[in-house]
Amino acid sequence: MLIETRQISKVYTLGDVPVNALKDVSIVIDKGEFVAIMGPSGSGKSSFMNLIGCLDTPTSGQYLLDGIDVSKLGRDGRSAVRNKKIGFVFQGFNLLSRTSAIENVELPMTYSNIPAKERKQRSSHALSLVGLSGREHHNPNQLSGGQQQRVAIARALVNNAPIILADEPTGNLDTATSKEIMELFVRLNNESGITVILVTHEPDIATYSKRLIRFSDGCVVSDTSVSGMG
């Protein structure tokens, strides 16, 4: 198994009122799965993604990522694991403006000792995988929303991480473009075996996945397989 959470809980203390964002969540996700996460606003979806993305630590419970007990790691250890294992895709694309597509894709390699030439080659290859060959030198403001999200997906792929985590990746896109982005995730999952875990509030988007996990009030309330046809 690639991802295993064992009774993880997350409590935020805002002022003096504790918020139980996640309550004893135990989930196993294997390599190559395509998981959609749904649930009402405030049900803990983003908290869960932040924990499995090693951006945060659980208040209690254990998290194993590819056999590594992340709950035992400090900040630097988590960031090293994160870099190797996880690519992130966000609702708002989170690209640097006035920075070309290829330079945006190169960013996750900034702190590695990969030679400049290889960085360019890898970035250019990642852009070709998302159908953006020829757009390397366009800045985000010269690209459509769908193309910007493709750049962000190329950035998530460039370190060859086995997992892509996407929180509402189609939330800022129109229906036709959302469909194209979901088809891209399906292709990456099918052809490269990348494990895709995404949060969505749109049932149509969830149909592209193979497994649907629903959260409510910090708990998993259902976990079912989906046809994965889109």
Provide the binding-site residues for ligand ADP, judged by CB under 6 A: 12, 14, 19, 21, 39, 41-47
Q: In 78-226, which ranges are E strands?
A: 86-90, 163-167, 195-199, 211-216, 219-225
Q: How far is the CB of 75 from ligand ADP (least distance, A)?
A: 16
Gap between the Cα atoms of 82 and 74, Å rounded: 12
CB closer to ligand ADP, 7 vs 144: 7
Q: Calculate the alpha carbon distances from 216 to 80, 168, 201 in Å.
A: 31, 17, 13
CB closer to ligand ADP, 46 vs 123: 46
Which 1-60 residues touch Mg ion, going by CB under 5 A?
45-46
116 contact choice in ligand ADP, Mg ion, none (CB below 5 to 8 Å, kind-dependent): none
Q: How far is the CB of 90 from ligand ADP (least distance, A)?
A: 13
What tokens were used for 205? 């988007």
Gap between the Cα atoms of 110 and 171, Å rounded: 28
Which 173-192 residues touch Mg ion, going by CB under 5 A?
none
44 contact choice in Mg ion, ligand ADP, none (CB below 5 to 8 Å, kind-dependent): ligand ADP
> Residue 3 is inside which H or E element, if any?
strand 3-14
- With CA atoms as reference, report the closest residue to 132 among 100, 90, 99, 174: 100
User: CA triplet 106, 4, 191: central angle to 5 degrees?
Assistant: 50
Is residue 71 part of the contact set for Mg ion (CB under 5 A)? no
170 contact choice in Mg ion, ligand ADP, none (CB below 5 to 8 Å, kind-dependent): none
CB closest to Mg ion, residue no = 46
Q: How far is the CB of 169 from ligand ADP (least distance, A)?
A: 14
Q: How far is the CB of 184 from ligand ADP (least distance, A)?
A: 23
CB closer to Mg ion, 73 vs 89: 89
Q: How far is the CB of 39 from ligand ADP (least distance, A)?
A: 5
Q: Sort 134 into a burial class: Cβ within 10 Å, 0-12 / 13-18 / 19+.
A: exposed
CB closer to Mg ion, 89 vs 127: 89
Q: Where are the alpha helices (DSSP H) in 57-174?
A: 75-85, 101-106, 116-129, 145-157
100 contact choice in ligand ADP, Mg ion, none (CB below 5 to 8 Å, kind-dependent): none
Compute how many residues bind Mg ion; rule: CB under 5 A.
2
Measured from the Cβ of residue 56, the count of other Cβ atoms closer than 10 Å reads 17
Residues lying near Mg ion in the complex (CB under 5 A) are found at 45-46
